[in-house]
Amino acid sequence: MANLKTNSVELGNVTQANRSSLGTADGQVILNGTSNNLNYYSSNLGGWATVQRGAGDGSTAANAGSSGQQIKTEYPSSTTGYYYIKSSSMPNAIRMWVDMDEDGGGYDFWYTTSGPSVSYITETHAGVSQGLQLWEGRSPQCWRAAVRAAYTFDSGNFYQYFYGCGHVYKPNGGGNYTGCIMRSSYYGGNNCGEWRVLTGNRWWIRNTTHSEPNGDYNGNGFLQIYGGQFGYPFDVNTNMGFNDGGAYAIGNRYLLSTNVKT
């Protein structure tokens, strides 16, 4: 039972596993001792839900933003650098690097140096436990922001963060796509319709056709960068080389993101 104090109410601290023991009465409010969030019961929402807090400016963990884009939108004077971010899918706030310049700003990044390495979208990558996704290459400017992020995190190894070519894939194996430009229909002239990124948003690899993908592709596997003039700083006019040989492991170093900026 709530313990009334002067100008305050002390809520019961209940673990997530034990919430079901409280019954199904609409309007119950508890402190979830597992996630440290306020929860309320709503039959219209199908059970227990989290009380959403207003997102902050990212200056501290307690004032975390929900994404780099949210911070840039609500605090437009924010400059490129580190910000605390906690999206609704993240168990804890993470101090992420946010580019506040490219494409209007808001691309957020975190990284791993120890994997696990994955070759297919169906495998568990390092971001899953943190509520983050594999970074997706949205545009030439997004690639430039990602390169800056990787260089900031780990300058000596930044190239290794891009073995997965923007984490673009298609669900079915095979198929010769050497006659189409590897970018989404957002950019026009795209006839590579099966290719996509997991969020379903825009993606970009290059502005001209290439000798790959030429058919030796495993469904749901990653393309891999090879050759080209990929480096730091990234030239947005660079035509990246890549290969579709089966499915390529992305290595132990790769970028993670909320991918909220579409």
**Could you give the 3-state DSSP secondary structure of residue 157?**
helix
**pLDDT tens column, 116-172:** 999 999 999 999 999 999 999 999 999 999 999 999 999 999 889 999 999 999 999
Asked if residue 65 belongs to a domain, the reply is: no
User: CA angle, 225 as apex, 230 and 140 as ends, to 5°?
Assistant: 55
Number of domains in the chain: 1
Q: Which pLDDT does position 58 carry in this prediction?
A: 96
**Could you give the 3-state DSSP secondary structure of residue 205?**
coil
Q: Which pLDDT does position 45 carry in this prediction?
A: 66
Share of the chain above pLDDT 90, in %: 69
- Dihedral angle sign, alpha carbons of residues 243, 244, 245, 248: positive
| Residue type at position 166 | G
Confidence of residue 193 (pLDDT cuts 50, 70, 90): confident
Distance, CA of 248 to CA of 129 (rounded, Å): 22
Confidence of residue 1 (pLDDT cuts 50, 70, 90): very low
Residues 160-175 as b/e (b if ≥16 CB within 10 A, e otherwise) read: ebbbbbbbbbbeeeee
| Residue type at position 201 | N
Asked if residue 160 belongs to a domain, the reply is: no
Mean pLDDT of 24-40: 81
Domain that holds residue 36: 3-50
Asked if residue 24 belongs to a domain, the reply is: yes
**Which pTM does this prediction carry?**
0.78
Contact, 213 vs 175, CB < 8 A? yes
Asked if residue 39 belongs to a domain, the reply is: yes
Asked if residue 41 belongs to a domain, the reply is: yes
Asked if residue 34 belongs to a domain, the reply is: yes
Distance, CA of 173 to CA of 218 (rounded, Å): 4
Confidence of residue 52 (pLDDT cuts 50, 70, 90): low
Asked if residue 118 belongs to a domain, the reply is: no
Asked if residue 30 belongs to a domain, the reply is: yes
